[in-house]
Amino acid sequence: MRDAFHEELDHTSDQLVEMTRLAGSAMARATTALLDADIGLAESVIAADEQIDALQRELDDTSIMLLAQQQPVATDLRIIVTGMRMSADLERMGDLARHVAKVARRRYPDSAVPPVLRATILEMGQVAERIVAKAGSVIASKDLHTAVELEQDDDEMDRLHRQVFAMLLSEDWDYGMEAAIDITLIGRYYERFADHAVSVARRVVYLVTGEWHESYTPIVRVP
């Protein structure tokens, strides 16, 4: 059986996984709200962000409490500090989902996404959902293979992001400037969402291997 301290650490790990679930659900619903011009769904994403923020505060309070009372060193210390960094990434991912939902709300009853970009934005939403689910798996299982896969999802997000710019700059774009600004910002939100998921996974890899990959390639030694 694990001692009380390590049970607390397990609990913070569970809370981080829960944050990935909430952030993923928020981005998935924000994407639907955006594509379907669903104002009710947009409002619910905006309101639900408070849950993610509250979870971060709770996690941080527990972490500070553990640092003060348990005076951890070595690996335990690093786990706590890394957990606080991951919770900051995940809190920010919640904000980015909220930003997407706010664009949906601003353009209601229209959709902010013109027909030519629906498929691309749908896919960005799906990659976002997938990448944060994998970040959750990496936290829960410390599985480095999943961390490598996740980097590939991020490459996919970058490819979709470039596709968005290509469409904005093509002859076919005749949806005006307001839609172009929305789409430029939305593209950025999805890209940053994926970046933060990558950052979460890299922090776990760093905890496990002691190696930080700024530009991650699958050369990590998988045990």
Rule CB under 8 A: say whether 85 interacts with a copy of itself.
Answer: yes
**Crossing angle of helices 74-107 and 4-36, rounded to 10°:** 20
Cβ-based neighbours of 14, under 8 Å, separated by 6 or more = none
Rule CB under 8 A: say whether 47 interacts with a copy of itself.
Answer: no
**Crossing angle of helices 4-36 and 176-209, rounded to 10°:** 160
Please give the biggest Cα pair distance in the chain: 65
Stretch that binds a copy of itself, among 32-40, 79-87, 148-156, 215-223 (CB under 8 A): 79-87
Stretch that binds a copy of itself, among 9-17, 72-80, 129-137, 153-161 (CB under 8 A): 72-80
Q: Do 87 and 42 contact (CB within 8 A), yes or no?
A: no
Q: Do 23 and 52 contact (CB within 8 A), yes or no?
A: yes
Rule CB under 8 A: say whether 208 interacts with a copy of itself.
Answer: no
**Crossing angle of helices 118-141 and 4-36, rounded to 10°:** 170
- Least spacing, CB of residue 150 vs a copy of itself, in Å: 21
Site string for a copy of itself, 135-174 (x = CB under 8 A): ------------------------------x--xx---x-
Rule CB under 8 A: say whether 48 interacts with a copy of itself.
Answer: no
CA separation (Å) from 30 to 5, 189, 199?
37, 11, 22
Strand (E) positions, the chain? none
* Cβ neighbours around 81 below 10 Å, total: 15
Cβ-based neighbours of 170, under 8 Å, separated by 6 or more = none
- Least spacing, CB of residue 68 vs a copy of itself, in Å: 5
Rule CB under 8 A: say whether 219 interacts with a copy of itself.
Answer: no
Which of 2, 3, 40, 73 lies at the binding interface for a copy of itself (CB under 8 A)?
73
- Least spacing, CB of residue 213 vs a copy of itself, in Å: 14
Which of 37, 48, 180, 220 lies at the binding interface for a copy of itself (CB under 8 A)?
180
Rule CB under 8 A: say whether 54 interacts with a copy of itself.
Answer: no
**List of residues contacting a copy of itself (CB under 8 A):** 64, 67-68, 71, 73-74, 77-78, 81, 84-85, 88, 165, 168-169, 173, 177-178, 180-181, 184-185, 188
